[in-house]
Structure 1
């Protein structure tokens, strides 16, 4: 609502931006979403309907970010997207069981230079950060 107020004021009242930043910093739920909110505010001049534009912006950013994670970690795209969508549906990211393992690229489990555990931990950390950023706003 503060972003709408800022937009309605032709994006000139910088005090509203300060209020938004204060509100984000004060909320433990919003801290992980700070970058997303700031990017959205930076584009406030180009908006028609703040609420519809927010939904479209979040959807676009979410898709971009999950694709970056999939590419960087060489994950299975369809399985990863299904896993993440289930996490949003269930309200939690399950990091135990075979769910995470099904996303990982083929790797040796034993012997040699197997770094499967490290890879799995890296993927879990990235997916947790992604989940925290978008949970509650998608």
Structure 2
């Protein structure tokens, strides 16, 4: 991974940074993730554990971005999170049917088309969010975190 090479070179090799940018720009799958990758690279330093810190960074950014969408669009929290989790699981964001409608706050259906406009705005934000994070293993990372047993300190038994 180029980011690990950059890290191993004490975060000073500008040629590796140029190679990273070229690789991202050349890849259709990575273009939507460009801001995310560049933000992570800007945080890389000699103390960074690239793989572990990348996973943590992606989860934090995903949570922040999803919370922002939920808050700004006044979406229903539980329903939106379930909808997004299902989209990552299924590999596609379902924008037809009543799925999006279930996420939306109550809006008058007779308000001159503002509901349809609001729904289209929500769909666009969710699509951009999905494209940014899909393929990064969000569901897998979250599943691994849940499977890891908690470490408890135990008292030695006095028997």
Q: Using structure 2 for the length normalisation, give the TM-score.
A: 0.83
Q: Over the residues paired in the alignment, what is the CA RMSD in angstroms?
A: 1.1
Distance in 2 (CA, whole Å) between partners of 1:41 and 1:17 is: 9
Please say if 1:10 is aligned against 2:7. no
List runs of 5+ in structure 1 lacking aligned partners.
Answer: none
1:57-107, Cα deviation, whole Å (9 max, x unpaired): 000000000000011111011110110000000000000011100000001
Specify the structure having the higher radius of gyration (Cα).
2
Distance in 1 (CA, whole Å) between partners of 2:82 and 2:68 is: 16
The Cα of 1:52 is off from its aligned counterpart by 0.8
| Aligned residue number for residue 128 of structure 2 | 129
Matches within 5 A, 1:1-138: 1-45=1-45, 47-110=47-110, 112-137=111-136, 138=138
Distance in 2 (CA, whole Å) between partners of 1:46 and 1:104 is: 44
Runs of 4+ in 1 over 6 A off after TM superposition: none
Distance 1:81 1:116, change over 3 A: same
Q: Using structure 1 for the length normalisation, give the TM-score.
A: 0.96
Distance in 2 (CA, whole Å) between partners of 1:46 and 1:121 is: 44
